[in-house]
Structure 1
């Protein structure tokens, strides 16, 4: 991060603007929206302010002469937009005077940049790309604008007016934060967002009375709960909106080892993050210990997120954890995640089902060879069935042996996919007879095996093994 996002009080002093045309007027409109006073050198001599309000025009001083000789006394920033060769020279003057300077489309001569802005009154969101791509910043701004309520600024202002009074009544930080979260997420926040601020004021007057809601908070009667959250296969953009809300609301996050740092970064900054999972060959703390940690934290009033790779209920022991929470009388909820099989199918273009070709899916897990040997492979020989083996790398030889012994064709298409949706995702495709050799080409897990004719439709196979694929289908037709 080269540019640190900061918010500058543009009413603390004038801003010097140098430039002409649409770029300069666009910057003037932005400055005027923040209530700034501007001194404008129009490098083409055209100071026309048609379309600006009378109040905006009154705060814009139109200057003549050489901008490089301008008096910099009292300025808080310098902006060059449509200034051509004057920009770098003005940048040197600004730096010598210790003033922030922006030269449009020229980060090397700028000490600050203009972000794409979402303006909701008291709520302002700034989106920057370090000057690399303003178009990308604008697209991100559009996405944010699509989900932000129009009156979110009114809600921030509403809370701001009450902050001191509530601080005096609820001095303990964590209880006060819980109080405001209930206000924002509950009916009072909904009233403000609906434009019914008078009703919201009356309702807040009631619940901030120590004999009502705040009284429970002040006495320490905070209710803890556990949310089992599926983190998906690794790409943080594949988290559900509900999962993001849970992470932002958590006091403590117990997470698997396979949950990526990028996903953990979506949790609230001050939430405790405790790894409790295990990887192949590395023992973890054990399921009973994990259950005990969650129950203890919830009973102490904390909001707990149990963050699990993939989906909690697909080889994630979510069922065991739910049973433990039920037995302990702890409130809980479950937020599903995208399981690895679905993510692998999407990334590597393997349709897990295909009309007239694959009519059913069977998912199983095989950590070790003994797990594979315990599977009844005879029920998995249907050519119209796609078999997905989670955590199957170490048992690949036993998986192949079981399927071949049960009668599955050695030419059955197979894919080994690893670290799906992550930047280092990898796939190797071939046939069932080649399965152990394919696993050898994989640079570490987590990985799963996809076995069935649908693998023949995958992008990797189309690129590397087309001839073998054609041969396989010719043999099948005969």
Structure 2
């Protein structure tokens, strides 16, 4: 290791920045974002630094030759786009014992800039010894994807309680255990979910911090996680973290194998969902098992296809968790209606054509029969139907009876965002036949004028397996 990672106290004095052009301005933005006081020598004479009014108050533009400028009180020197002046400034800085960075010049630099992950009170610096800044940036991107957005708020939150807790717990190992339980338990989860006041109340309510730290039984919690429509790359970063942290995952039948593969290998997986015509364990049983696992101290994930709050019974599960006093969080996912619309390029709204959207579900014909279709005949309304394959004839009959035109465009999109996704587009008159053409679900139906804007159905050929494509080409050649 050639360069030791250190952090400058930017309140100790100004930083001198020397250079020109966009390289100078880029480095100035980094320093300004860190709250530094900066003395800028723009050797090309361009004083347009592109700063906000707030940042500009801490920036001083200096005239004259930087090689002879007074450096009293300066804590560091940075050269960006300074050419030969940067090399000469490096010699002067080293003579005075000042840290100096000459951009992209290790020979004349005594320190380098790392790639930075900035989460407020939490800072992560990534370096490659100056050999490959691009690699450092790629590592930074990976770390940014793993770190919760509010990790800095969690550090700040703990800082607010640290003194009082430390005064109540004398032994350092016990004190460390206390903060580990806070960070890894429901209190930390509440801060990361944006409920800082709730977390503060819970922490203040701990009557005996030493006993809390000694407790053998960990505190459990439940995360209701939206898995999206099937493509694992559409999982949110927060969902991925929950899957990696979970002790047990209760998942729906429709959650794709590719998404289940993102669960930590030693995590217990329990399938609790059901498909049309096949029994499941029932919602009450799911609630009971989640609560029992959390009360036993486990970190529980309830993994649901799409979004937990869009026809996913997430609301019922939240009510059960509240009643049982179990800590929980909600991590939304991309619902199938939005995933299918994006997959097949159907804009659910379109200026002057579609200004409203209705989402509804229809498992069976009797579900469709109880829908008031008269409220869904506005031609400027897009109707998205979940689980409507079996009920397709009843849906068509209901819309016909309400007065919707048989020529209304309709799309049936099955297994959306997955490699075997398939779509069929036609009119409301053809709806049952369109359902047959997609060769099995799950599927969503999109009804309305916006379907005319869908991507070309040559997309269907792109959804075929490579073997089927080769077979089609051979057939065409005969």
The yes-or-no answer on 1:347 pairing with 2:343 is yes
Residue 321 of structure 1 deviates from its aligned partner by 1.1
Structure 1 residues 140, 436: CA separation in 2 closer, same or farther (over 3 Å shift)? farther
Q: Distance in 1 between matches of 2:135 and 2:306?
A: 30
Q: Distance in 2 between matches of 1:295 and 1:220?
A: 19
Q: Which residue does 2:445 correspond to in 1? A: 449
- Residue 402 (structure 1) aligned to one of 398, 402, 408: 398
Q: Any idea what the Cα deviations from partners look like across 1:371-419, whole Å, max 9, x if unmatched?
A: 1122111111111111111000111111111111211111110000011
Q: How does 1:10-89 map to 2 (within 5 A)?
A: none
Q: Which residue does 2:215 correspond to in 1? A: 219
The yes-or-no answer on 1:240 pairing with 2:269 is no
Structure 1 residues 344, 176: CA separation in 2 closer, same or farther (over 3 Å shift)? same
Q: Any idea what the Cα deviations from partners look like across 1:416-464, whole Å, max 9, x if unmatched?
A: 0011111111111011111111111112211010000000000035889
Residue 217 of structure 1 deviates from its aligned partner by 4.5
Task: Please say if residues 226 and 304 of structure 1, whose CA atoms lie closer than 8 Å, have aligned partners that are also in contact.
Answer: yes
Q: How does 1:251-262 map to 2 (within 5 A)?
A: 251-262=247-258
Q: Distance in 2 between matches of 1:138 and 1:124?
A: 6
Q: Distance in 1 between matches of 2:397 and 2:459?
A: 28
Q: Any idea what the Cα deviations from partners look like across 1:245-289, whole Å, max 9, x if unmatched?
A: 222222211110111222223233322111100011111001110
Q: Which residue does 1:430 correspond to in 2? A: 426
Q: Which residue does 2:226 correspond to in 1? A: 230
User: Which is worse superposed, 386-395 or 217-226?
Assistant: 217-226
- Residue 294 (structure 1) aligned to one of 287, 290, 295: 290
The yes-or-no answer on 1:385 pairing with 2:381 is yes
Structure 1 residues 51, 337: CA separation in 2 closer, same or farther (over 3 Å shift)? closer
Q: Distance in 1 between matches of 2:348 and 2:409?
A: 12
Q: Which residue does 1:143 correspond to in 2? A: 141
Task: Please say if residues 174 and 213 of structure 2, whose CA atoms lie closer than 8 Å, have aligned partners that are also in contact.
Answer: no
Q: Distance in 1 between matches of 2:300 and 2:407?
A: 48
Aligned residue pairs, count: 316
Q: Distance in 2 between matches of 1:148 and 1:323?
A: 30
Structure 1 residues 379, 462: CA separation in 2 closer, same or farther (over 3 Å shift)? farther
Structure 1 residues 284, 245: CA separation in 2 closer, same or farther (over 3 Å shift)? same
Q: How does 1:61-210 map to 2 (within 5 A)?
A: 141=139, 143-144=141-142, 147=145, 181=184
The yes-or-no answer on 1:420 pairing with 2:416 is yes
Structure 1 residues 437, 374: CA separation in 2 closer, same or farther (over 3 Å shift)? same
The yes-or-no answer on 1:321 pairing with 2:324 is no
Task: Please say if residues 353 and 361 of structure 1, whose CA atoms lie closer than 8 Å, have aligned partners that are also in contact.
Answer: yes
Task: Please say if residues 216 and 222 of structure 1, whose CA atoms lie closer than 8 Å, have aligned partners that are also in contact.
Answer: no
Structure 1 residues 214, 268: CA separation in 2 closer, same or farther (over 3 Å shift)? farther
Task: Please say if residues 276 and 290 of structure 1, whose CA atoms lie closer than 8 Å, have aligned partners that are also in contact.
Answer: yes
Residue 141 of structure 1 deviates from its aligned partner by 4.6
The yes-or-no answer on 1:364 pairing with 2:360 is yes
Task: Please say if residues 348 and 450 of structure 2, whose CA atoms lie closer than 8 Å, have aligned partners that are also in contact.
Answer: yes
Q: Distance in 1 between matches of 2:387 and 2:352?
A: 29
Can you give the 5+ residue segments of structure 2 that lack an aligned partner in the other structure? 1-104, 109-114, 118-123, 129-133, 156-170, 190-206, 461-478
* Partner SS for 1:459: coil
* Partner SS for 1:404: helix
Q: Which residue does 2:369 correspond to in 1? A: 373
Can you give the 5+ residue segments of structure 1 that lack an aligned partner in the other structure? 1-49, 54-117, 127-135, 156-165, 187-210, 465-478
Structure 1 residues 368, 239: CA separation in 2 closer, same or farther (over 3 Å shift)? same
Task: Please say if residues 226 and 334 of structure 2, whose CA atoms lie closer than 8 Å, have aligned partners that are also in contact.
Answer: yes
The yes-or-no answer on 1:269 pairing with 2:265 is yes
Task: Please say if residues 126 and 140 of structure 2, whose CA atoms lie closer than 8 Å, have aligned partners that are also in contact.
Answer: no
Q: Distance in 2 between matches of 1:456 and 1:169?
A: 65
Q: Distance in 2 between matches of 1:354 and 1:308?
A: 30
Residue 215 of structure 1 deviates from its aligned partner by 4.2
Task: Please say if residues 225 and 332 of structure 2, whose CA atoms lie closer than 8 Å, have aligned partners that are also in contact.
Answer: yes
Alignment TM-score, normalising by the size of structure 2: 0.56
Q: Distance in 2 between matches of 1:404 and 1:262?
A: 40
Q: Any idea what the Cα deviations from partners look like across 1:316-337, whole Å, max 9, x if unmatched?
A: 0111111212222222222211
Task: Please say if residues 146 and 241 of structure 2, whose CA atoms lie closer than 8 Å, have aligned partners that are also in contact.
Answer: no
Task: Please say if residues 423 and 457 of structure 2, whose CA atoms lie closer than 8 Å, have aligned partners that are also in contact.
Answer: no
Alignment TM-score, normalising by the size of structure 1: 0.56
Q: Any idea what the Cα deviations from partners look like across 1:97-129, whole Å, max 9, x if unmatched?
A: xxxxxxxxxxxxxxxxxxxxx999x99999xxx
